[in-house]
Amino acid sequence: MNRRKGIVLGLVGLGLLLGLFGLRVGVRAPRAAEAQEAVKPTGTATYVGSAACADCHEDIDHSFKLAGHGRAEQDSMLVEGRVGCESCHGPGSDHVKADGDKDAPGFWNIRRLDKLSSAEVVATCQGCHSVYRMRGGQKKQ
């Protein structure tokens, strides 16, 4: 086998390996809907509650209720404050008003963690999960 053929086969093999690795870790080409840029909620949207989200997102709602955040939402003794869908995704009234119409104003006006920078995702999580807040607002002694 000549050197050029070896290089080509090596690059093809590397491409296949990276493609398989990408599939294994959940990396995939974005769908058309996901191609929209990250839109951060405006100041005009209001909170509508997780039940409004569940009307269209039943499968996600079911999984959410079984996970830690969903259990916290159901038991006010675990966490104080807002812990439902909108605690991470922001106020959903504009999104709900769009009623599934991706061209309607407000449909994309929801915080999509997969479209945020790492720093923005961390800041979203730290809104509830900062050490200060988790200690009930008490500074470390």
What separation in angstroms does the CA of 132 have from each of 42, 81, 121? 27, 15, 18
Average pLDDT over residues 66-94: 84
Residue 137 pLDDT: 54
Residue 11 pLDDT: 67
Question: Is the pLDDT score of 30 beyond 50?
Answer: no
CA dihedral 35, 26, 65, 136 (to 10 degrees): -90
pTM of the predicted model as reported, rounded to 2 decimal places: 0.61
List of long-range contacts for 126-130, beta carbons under 8 Å, 24+ apart:
127/87, 128/79, 128/81, 128/83, 128/87
